[in-house]
Chains A and B, each alone.
Chain A
Amino acid sequence: MTNIGKRSGMMFFLVAVLEIIGFGLLAISQEGSIDYQALIVLGLSLILLMFQYWVIPQIFHHADRQVMVIVNLLMAVGLIFQYRLSTSTAYKQVICCTLGIVAMLITMQLILKNVFKRRYALIYMIFGVAMVAITLVLGRVIGGAKNWISLSETLSVQPSEFAKVVLVIILALWLRESRSFRQLIPMFAYVFICVCLLVVARDLGAALLFFGTFLMMLFVATSNLFYVSAGLGALALGGIASYHLFDHVRTRVSVWLNPWTQVNDGGYQIVQGLMAIVSGGMFGTGIGLGSPRYIPAYRTDYIFAVVCEEMGVLSGIILIGFYVILVVRGAIIARRAINAYHALLALGSTVMIALQSFIIIGGVIKLIPLTGITLPLVSYGGSSMVVTFMLIGILQAVAEASGREASAYLDEEEEDEEE
């Protein structure tokens, strides 16, 4: 612990250096005057960082430091870019991150206290479906997808985001013990309903994310390749069916195959994104020197293209590397978990974040058809930020629980030796 602690201290320091350089450059980028706003946001970011470095380990001794470092790195990149794009969104992003950290701590406590019980699973399922369905009824359309609910002029939330956390918990609760086909039917039904509702709401990214996470967890829990191939078959069938049923799905696919034939039309966003990515070259134009505003959704879904333009394709690769580290740590935590339930929880959270980053980065670079979702921890967006932190909270709770058990075991051994 001490060894790791020291090493991660160094890494936290490097995150702080990144933030200082990033915001420092932004503060002096205007000629002749210093932008004090940048320094304020820098201060707030450093407070968030220090809080996680000093306070969280006091409460949760075994929280995974490397996950914390990666989370903070991604968050720092997000904050720097949000500030570079507009001052007011940067402040909002700071608030979102703060809320996210609080949500993370609450989630950790809930998981550690073992609040979620299998016998209430039906209630969680109803809650999860309600979260998705409510957007269909009350939601308004933003960016082609109906997934926002306005609470007031300035505040809108995306309840379907919260259904992600519910999904991970339900899958873990259910798959912990139920493996036979008959026992799995209610879960299949739940996932089916959620995915259908998301497709109807045109939130294809979320639909893909839900189904992908479900499939991967199903495989890990049951090792049943028949289920997985049936699931993939269903995905293919569903894909083909929605291709024929929905206009917007057809547009997505044709735009993916050749966006350049529809440059001023359906392909506008993806073409602008691709041109932004390559316009920076390997090393980027330099932060603040690119032209991200040509890309629709530059703050949210397309933040990856903005990072590539201003910090270079190389930084894009490094960003992908951060997610890889997060995924590897997540898998290690899942393997060390104290029981199957915890292992599935940790794995579900990891898969959810991994898949989400894969879907959006893959969409932006035209590897797969573009479906609009946020880049975890980097994109602007409160609901997404809070939910990602909740998933991280689940992961950290699993790490904490296994750490506690291991140290309890060590303590026992020490006592044995003393005797």
Chain B
Amino acid sequence: MKELRKNIKYLLGIMVICFILLTVYLVYDAVIWGNRWLNSPYNPRLQQQRATVIPGNIYDRTGKLLVGTNKNGKRTYLEYKNQRYSMCHIIGDTRGLCATGVESTYAATLLGYNASFLSTMKQFIQQTPVTGNNVTLTADETLCTTAYKALDGKKGAVVLINYKTGEILAMTSTPGFDPKNIDDADLSDSSSVLVNRAIQGRYVPGSIFKVITLASALENGISPSWSYDCDGNLELSGDTITCPSAHGEMTLEEAFAQSCNCAFAKLGCTLGASKLVKTAEGTGIFQENMYKDFTLYASKIAIGAGSRQSEIGWAAIGQDKDTVTPLGMCMIAGGIANGGMMKEPRLVKTSGLDMSTLTSALQDTRIMSSSVAKSLKSMMRTVVEEGTGTRAAVDGVTVCGKTGTAEVGGSRNPHAWFIGFVEESEHPLAIAVVVENGGSGGRVAAPIAKKVLEKAINSGY
């Protein structure tokens, strides 16, 4: 009986722990997932609310009305087609088809579902129709439209962020759709117009991945004077990595400026898989990130402890199995510009009465030491000044960057990439451009980056 009583005590402990677990998980559901589930396009409560409520407006950061509601309760959009297409993925649509837009992710706010008790009471007493709350984006419509025009009908994405605050100034993904005529859009198209390529597109990075390889090398004590003699071919465990031509004897900086594949494959093998993966994963983009305003898909680096030399070599130059998202690479570029400190991205400046977007602390991630960031910065400056990225140079400021021409196999054209930033801290801009099967990064992506950066600097960012 004594034993029995003791056991009852133990069992009670176990049961109470189980119930505490229930409580903790319930709070976890509500706090971590609450907003996402509430705003889910599958939530019938919001669609029900839509029938009776005048939804709030959506503004861009300059206060320009992007989406409003007319007298008949229909959503109104911007006048020109280019404007509507350029922001379609960050605005979304009322049917929740493009789930990355604020129409979906902030549906509860726009529809006044989680309005404060006081404002609900006020509307009830004054007998005014219930109106939702407004949402102001961090993006600037003119920059998005510039980026959209610069992409010129090609498939791809452009992301421009303020690397000091993490605000997304422009995010355009093509092809897009017209939110005004979403019902008529051809959604069966294989080009998947509803996908926001900037955060959901996973592309082979090609040479822009060398930024990560280089950061890892510098972090791990390989000196910038490390040199390599490129003869155009590098044999690695039975596989051959090639350069378009023999670059000859080069330092690390020159190899980076000329984007020499052999040198970086060799560098990757010297580092080894674990160090390379450690630096890459330290950036945080190689896991799925659920930011407040959207979810950034996970990038992928497919090497590990048991990888063969050739696999490490390919991974170090961003070919084969690596994939990255445009925003992820843009954030890394911004992190380098910001002395190794990467900012959490934001798409919404203010929403309704919720001041938390203004005040809540951004999650900073140190992705590399400031001295490594400084060396990288100067090497990326050389790329734009005299290397493969000269077409991204903008008059009056110093642009640093890296081009990428990512082979995608078969006879298809490679993806054209450019990531970079403006060095001057008065213009804290970081950019990533990808053009699907666009060809050479230096010839196709860099000029797009130049156009968008020029427009942003002229607009005073």
Given A271-B42, A275-B45, check contact A343 B1 (CB 8 Å).
yes
Contact (Cβ within 8 A) B3 A223: yes
Q: Are A223 and B7 in contact (CB under 8 A)?
A: yes
B48 in the interface, Cβ–Cβ < 8 Å? yes
B82 vs chain A, min Cβ distance (A): 34
Q: Which of A220, A279, A291 contacts B11 (CB 8 A)?
A: A220
Known: A274-B29, A291-B48, A358-B19. A347 touches B1 (CB 8 A): no
CB of A340 closer than 8 Å to a CB of B: yes
Does chain A have a CB within 8 A of B63?
Answer: no
CB–CB A331/B12 < 8 A: yes
Once the chains bind, are A219 and B3 in contact (CB under 8 Å)?
A: no
- Which residues from 364 to 416 on chain A have a C-beta closer than 8 Å to any C-beta of chain B? 365-367
Of the residues A274, A316, A331, contact of B8 by C-beta under 8 Å: A331
Q: Are A275 and B42 interface neighbours, CB within 8 A?
A: yes
- Separation of A361 and B34 alpha carbons in the complex (Å): 17
- Identity of the chain B residue whose Cβ is nearest the Cβ of A339 in the assembled complex: B1
Tell me, yes or no, whether A294 is within 8 Å of chain B by CB: yes
Chain B residue numbers with a CB within 8 Å of A343 are 1, 4-5, 8
**Shortest Cβ distance from B16 into chain A, in angstroms?**
6
Known A291-B45, A327-B15, A361-B22; judge A278-B30 contact (CB<8 A).
Answer: yes
User: Smallest CB–CB gap between A275 and chain B, Å?
Assistant: 5
List residues of chain A with CB within 8 A of the CB of B29.
274, 277-278, 365-366
- Interface 9-mer from A48-56, A68-76, A98-106, A317-325: A317-325
Q: Contact check: which of A277, A291, A317, A328 meets B12 at CB < 8 Å?
A: A328
How far apart are B175's CB and chain A's nearest CB, in angstroms? 25
* A interface, size bucket: 35 or more
> Per-position contact with A for B71-103: 1 when CB-CB < 8 Å, else 0?
000000000000000000000000000000000
A279 with B7: CB separation less than 8 A: no
Q: Say whether A216 faces chain B, with CB atoms less than 8 Å apart.
A: yes
Interface residues on B, range: 20 to 34
Please give, as numbers and ranges, the residues of chain B lying within 8 Å of A275 by CB-CB distance: 37-38, 40, 42-43, 45
Interface: B124 (CB within 8 A): no
| Interchain CA distance A354-B17 in the complex, whole Å | 12
| Other-chain residue from B4, B12, B22, B27 in contact with A340 (beta carbon distance below 8 A) | B4
In the assembled complex, B25 has its CB within 8 A of some CB on chain A: yes
In the complex, are the beta carbons of B4 and A274 less than 8 A apart?
no
What 1/0 mask marks residues of chain A from 240 to 282 whose CB sits below 8 Å from any chain B CB?
Answer: 0000000000000000000010010000000100110111011
Q: Are A320 and B11 in contact (CB under 8 A)?
A: no
| Mask of A276-301 contacts with B, CB within 8 angstroms, 1/0 | 01110110000000110010000000
Complex CA distance for A260 and B36, rounded to whole angstroms: 12
Q: Is A335 interfacial (CB 8 A cutoff)? A: yes
Contacts of B27 in A (CB 8 A): 313, 317
Q: Does B437 contact A (CB under 8 A)?
A: no
CA distance A63 to B16 in the complex (A): 23
Verify A358–B8 contact, CB threshold 8 A. Answer: no
| Residues of the B chain whose Cβ atoms lie less than 8 Å from the Cβ of A331 | 8-9, 11-12, 15
B114 adjacent to chain A (CB < 8 Å): yes
Interface flag for B302 (CB, 8 Å): no
Q: Which residues of B contact A358 (CB under 8 A)?
A: 15, 18-19, 22
Nearest-CB distance from A144 to chain B (Å)? 21
Instruction: Specify which of B7, B16, B44 is in contact with A324 (CB 8 Å cutoff).
Output: B16
Q: Does A168 contact B (CB under 8 A)?
A: no
Closest 10 CB pairs of A and B: A331-B12, A278-B34, A220-B7, A367-B25, A313-B30, A275-B43, A278-B37, A335-B5, A324-B19, A263-B42
Interface residues of B, Cβ cutoff 8 Å to A: 1, 3-5, 7-9, 11-12, 15-16, 18-19, 21-23, 25-27, 29-30, 33-35, 37-38, 40, 42-45, 48, 113-114
15 sample A-B contacts, Cβ–Cβ < 8 Å, listed by A number: A275-B37, A278-B30, A278-B37, A279-B45, A281-B114, A317-B26, A323-B19, A324-B16, A327-B12, A331-B8, A335-B8, A343-B4, A351-B11, A365-B29, A367-B21
Known pairs A278-B33, A294-B45, A335-B9; list 18 more (Cβ under 8 Å): A219-B7, A221-B7, A275-B42, A277-B30, A278-B30, A278-B34, A279-B37, A282-B30, A327-B19, A339-B1, A343-B1, A343-B5, A347-B8, A347-B11, A351-B11, A354-B19, A361-B22, A362-B25
